């Protein structure tokens, strides 16, 4: 029985001392190398608004061949894409729609996000190039935007 008591006492002693061995061993290894890989999917949220859904054609407009509409289109976008986004504009009718940008008249406008998840807004003047055979009247202004990332 004395041997059994000695064995039990020895096991209890090892169990009692074991946390001290473990904590001192962990204290020696306080750094580790961790490799992390993440994939961030690109996203683009945009909206466009027109203060007017129609335009009026007069005899003077027909002679000139176009109508200039100030502040006719506002584009807002939020993206995590670092490159410029090009918005091509197209008309839903027989007329041709051009945007007035800093570089002149164009059927596209480029916008860049200042930083990810920051809302960027740009208001543009528009030129409606009238089709041949245009007549006086009020016509719907239907504009489509198609974004392209570079």
pTM for this one? 0.69
pLDDT at 34: 86
The more confident residue out of 55 and 114 is 55
CATH class, range 44-149: mainly beta
Query: Above pLDDT 70, what percent of the chain?
Result: 79
pLDDT in tens, 104-120: 999 999 998 878 878 99
Cα torsion for 114, 119, 125, 131, to the nearest 10°? 110
Q: What is the residue-averaged pLDDT of the chain?
A: 83
Euclidean distance between CA atoms 141 and 144, whole angstroms: 10
pLDDT grade for 9, boundaries at 50, 70 and 90: low
């Amino acid at each position: 029985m004395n041997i059994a008591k000695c064995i039990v006492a020895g096991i209890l002693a090892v169990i009692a001392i074991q946390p001290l061995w473990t904590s001192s061993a962990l204290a020696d290894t306080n750094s580790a190398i961790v490799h992390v890989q993440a994939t961030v999917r690109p996203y683009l949220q945009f909206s466009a608004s027109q203060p007017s859904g129609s335009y009026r054609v007069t005899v003077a407009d027909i002679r000139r061949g176009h109508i200039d509409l100030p502040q006719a289109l506002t584009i807002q976008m939020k993206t995590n894409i670092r490159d410029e986004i090009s918005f091509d504009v197209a008309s839903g009718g027989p007329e041709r729609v051009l945007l007035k940008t800093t570089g002149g008249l164009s059927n596209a406008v480029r916008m860049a996000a200042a930083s990810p998840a920051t809302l960027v807004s740009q208001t543009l003047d528009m030129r409606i190039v009238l089709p041949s055979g245009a007549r006086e009247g009020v016509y719907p202004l239907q504009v489509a935007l198609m974004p392209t990332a570079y």
